[in-house]
Structure formats: structure tokens, C-alpha cells
Amino acid sequence: QVQLVESGGGLVQQGGSLRLSCAASVSISSITAMGWYRQAPGKGRELVANITTGGTTTYTDSVKGRFTISRDNAKNTVSLQMNILKPEDTAVYYCHAAWRTVSYYGVQPHDAWGQGTQVTVSS
């Protein structure tokens, strides 16, 4: 079972920066994709950024040019550097991991979530 623990959230003023980190309980080298989602009050959970084993990254349009996702397979961590933060970035941020296993019965998808970390951007 993969466990994910986030850290680095907090309160920051508009235009400031925060760095979120996600530590996995297992080696992430075989995890297909790791990413960050966020959920603002009264809204659904949305993908913020994603990075594959090969290093391919995906960002939601609203954070492109401001956020950078990275992974360190040696440390089993994924980070999200958030710059030029805006009040609309305020949300609980969740780390997510997705991978597949192959067995006699075929390919099975799996995923895991962290407990979430609060990011609050004041105007």
C-alpha cells in the first residue's frame, strides 16, 4: 500500500511563493504518474499538475508559467513549486499517485491520495 504525506502548505500573501512536497512510502520509480490536485471550498477537486515516470509534465491552464512540478526518484518525493500565487490558488492540495500492476488477470489500475495540505493566499 502506497502512503503519501504532503508538507509545505501555509499562508502566504498574493505574489508570494510556496513549495509543496509529497513523500511516498515506497519507491516511486515504478509509479506511472504522480501529481497534485486541489479542492477549493464549494468546488470539485481539480488536477493542478502531473508528472510521469518519463518526466512528462502536464499543468492546468491557470497555473502554467507559475507552478513547476518535479520528482526525485532517489528520495521518493514529488514537489510543486508555486510562484506568483493568487487568492484563487487557495485550496487544499492533495498529492496523488497512479500505477498499474500486471497479473494473470490482466492490468489493474491503482491510485493513492495524501491527506491534503492547506494553501491560503491572502490578497
pLDDT tens by residue, 76-121:
999 999 999 999 999 999 999 999 888 899 999 999 999 999 999 9
The pLDDT value given to residue 27: 83
Predicted local confidence at residue 32, as pLDDT: 87
Task: Give the span between the Cα atoms of 68 and 70, in whole angstroms.
Answer: 7
Return the amino acid letter for 116. G
pLDDT tens-place string over residues 29-87: 888 899 999 999 999 999 999 999 989 999 999 999 999 999 998 999 999 999 999 99
pLDDT of residue 122: 97
Q: List the grid coordinates of 98.
A: 497512479
Q: Distance between CA 12 and CA 84 in Å, rounded?
A: 10
H/E element holding 40?
none
